Chain A
Amino acid sequence: MPDLNDMTDEDLMARVQNADHGAFSVLVHRYTNLFYSAAYRMCGQQDDAEDIVQDAFLKLWNRPQIWDASRGAKFTTWFYRVVTNQAIDFMRKKKPAAVGDALDYVEDTRDTQQDMMEADEKSAMIETVIQALPERQKIALNLCFYEELTNKDAAQIMGVGVKALESLLMRAKSGLREELHRRGVLKQDDNGVGEATYYG
């Protein structure tokens, strides 16, 4: 019997479609962390991100037929779409919340307390500004910049053309530059795209 851990995602999905719980378990252990990060970047809350990932995986287990192997898509690309949609539904149901978790956590790579506090504030500020972006701009930024997907894959996940995605990405970044400059995270002479504004 082949070792499930050595199988490709697509082979595991074929097994999941035959109610193989072991195959499902391998996929969960392989990708929970990755998709948790993606979900967190969408919603900015640790608990919500965990719920989103859990719901997405349970959807996969309860309705495995939603995966269509004949389309030739990679499992991860397809599952990004599931998680993204789950996150959008979740956020629309929920009121926009303050960015709490980002304030509570910062990677401890700084030397002094002062540096850590500055890094903490900066990280929280970036999180707040990103969360305030229009939904589609935020998703485009997360998928391309943070998840490092290709524009083609990100466009496929979002169900838009590559040109439209590039436009969303450009507007997201220029909007971020302006807002971070306004909040003092970027220095006065750092405002490279001064004329940038937010667009829906």
Chain B
Amino acid sequence: MDDHEFNKILKARAVPPMRSNLEHRIVQASLPVGKNKANSKGNSLSAIFIAILDTLILPKPALSMALVLVFGVMLGGYSSGVSEASTNIDVDAYFLAAETIGYGDIL
């Protein structure tokens, strides 16, 4: 077999097509870094607004988890504060009742 025929066989090697969104994926993956670079050049209000918008639009699992955790802790703290307050009220009411009812009073 000559080189030409052999080369023809080697050329039969196929490459499966890439996924159509690969370019988009690469550009998207580079965006946060690119925007940070732009922000570092000028801290304009619009740049800050875009950065905030980005955090809302792009999925950021770590940030979401942290926010959920903070929210949960705040909610837990608030609800335990409420139950403590209601306990205090109940205790106060008890003592108040105890003060008003003296020893030997007819119940």
Contacts and interface: CB of A to CB of B under 8 A. Distances in A.
B63 interface: no
A186 B9 contact: yes
A58 B26 contact: yes
Interface string B17-42: 11100110111011101100110010
Nearest to B14: A123
B9 A185 contact: yes
Contact of A19 (B2, B12, B37): B37
A126 B15 contact: no
Interface in A37-71: 37, 40-41, 46, 49-50, 53-54, 57-58, 61-62
A127 interface: yes
Contact of B16 (A46, A146, A185): A46
A115 interface: no
Contact of B31 (A21, A102, A145): A21
Interface residues of A, number: 46
Contacts of A58: 26, 29-30
Interface residues of B, number: 28
Given A19-B37, A190-B1, A119 B22 contact: no
A126 B54 CA distance: 46
B49 interface: no
Contacts of A140: none
Given A21-B34, A49-B18, A187-B1, 14 more contacts: A19-B34, A19-B38, A32-B18, A50-B22, A53-B22, A62-B30, A122-B12, A123-B13, A126-B13, A127-B13, A127-B14, A145-B7, A186-B9, A192-B6
Interface of B: 1-2, 5-7, 9-10, 12-19, 22-23, 25-27, 29-31, 33-34, 37-38, 41
